[in-house]
A and B are shown apart, each in its own frame.
Chain A
Amino acid sequence: EAGVTQFPSHSVIEKGQTVTLRCDPISGHDNLYWYRRVMGKEIKFLLHFVKESKQDESGMPNNRFLAERTGGTYSTLKVQPAELEDSGVYFCASSQASPLNEQFFGPGTRLTVL
């Protein structure tokens, strides 16, 4: 069974540019989460999809971040325009129906904003 995949693995952009991160969850997992880890700090929740619906987006930093999950399958997270403080590793995770199930994390996308 394929795990959670994320693309790209690394992205280096300049301040003001746009970047789109993609996450493909494990097939059949209704729950999809985005997290971010800034160097040396905690893994911070961004948002939670249940199928194609946003269940909780309380962790999204501001309106420069837009997440979508087309047809309840893969998800994208767009940052526009990117700021220096957006740098970090963005993780996607997925889980089966119950939120108390294990969340399977992807390898992350390391975003560097110069």
Chain B
Amino acid sequence: QQPVQSPQAVILREGEDAVINCSSSKALYSVHWYRQKHGEAPVFLMILLKGGEQKGHEKISASFNEKKQQSSLYLTASQLSYSGTYFCGTEVTGKLIFGQGTTLQVKP
């Protein structure tokens, strides 16, 4: 039931792009994306709904592929502030089931 994220870790240079995938073995109706910096609260990035459009927030966008039961998070022209652990969460009866997280490190 827990979604699977890939890759587990990514190291980038500033300005490079990255894609984080979130896959589920069950039908997806909504996917939530959060970013957590070390020692801080997870921060909401966006929600993707089944049948919804691709969402974006500045240089971070996401897509939802219903057929593949997968969501992808796209980070374009990464900045140092993008560093952290990214979690996808699938909504199941009102609660979020999170993936194991993808650690992203952006270096100067």
Residue numbers of A with Cβ under 8 A of B are: 4, 31, 33, 35, 41-45, 48, 55-56, 59, 91, 99-100, 102-108
Minimum CB distance partner of B92 in chain A: A45
18 CB < 8 A contacts A-B = A35-B98, A41-B100, A42-B2, A42-B87, A42-B100, A42-B101, A43-B96, A45-B97, A48-B94, A48-B95, A56-B95, A59-B95, A99-B94, A100-B30, A100-B47, A103-B32, A103-B44, A105-B43
Residues on A with C-beta less than 8 A from B32 are 102-103
The answer for the CA separation of A55 and B30 in the assembled complex, in Å, is 20
**Is the beta-carbon distance between B94 and A42 smaller than 8 angstroms?**
no
Q: Is the CB of B41 within 8 A of A108?
A: yes
Which B residues contact A (CB, under 8 angstroms)? Answer: 2, 30, 32, 34, 36, 40-44, 47, 49, 87, 89, 91, 93-101
User: Do B42 and A31 have beta carbons less than 8 Å apart?
Assistant: no
**B49 to A100, Cβ gap below 8 A?**
yes
CB contact between A100 and one of B91, B97, B98, B101 (< 8 Å): that residue: B91
Q: Check if A91 sits within 8 Å of B42, measured CB to CB.
A: yes
User: Which residues of chain A are within 8 angstroms of B96 by Cβ–Cβ distance?
Assistant: 33, 35, 43, 45, 103
Shortest beta-carbon distance, A96 to chain B, in Å?
13
CA of A108 to CA of B87, assembled, Å? 16
Smallest CB-CB separation from B44: which chain A residue? A102
Shortest 4 CB-CB contacts between residues of A and residues of B: A99-B94, A105-B41, A43-B98, A102-B44
Q: How far is the CA of A104 from the CA of B91 in the complex (A)?
A: 15
Q: Shortest Cβ distance from B56 into chain A, in angstroms?
A: 16
User: Please, how many angstroms separate the alpha-carbon atoms of A79 and B44 in the complex?
Assistant: 28
Query: A44: nearest residue on chain B (CB-CB)?
Result: B98
Return chain B residues, CB-CB under 8 Å to A102: 32, 44, 47
Distance, CA A33 to CA B89, complexed state (A): 14
> A44 to B44, alpha carbons, bound, how many Å?
16
Q: Which of A31, A43, A104, A107 has the most CB of B within 10 A?
A: A43
Taking the nearest CB of chain A, how far is it from the CB of B97, in angstroms?
6
Contacts of A99 in B (CB 8 A): 91, 94-95
Q: Which of B36, B95, B101 is the most central at the interface, judged by chain A CB atoms within 10 Å of its CB?
A: B95
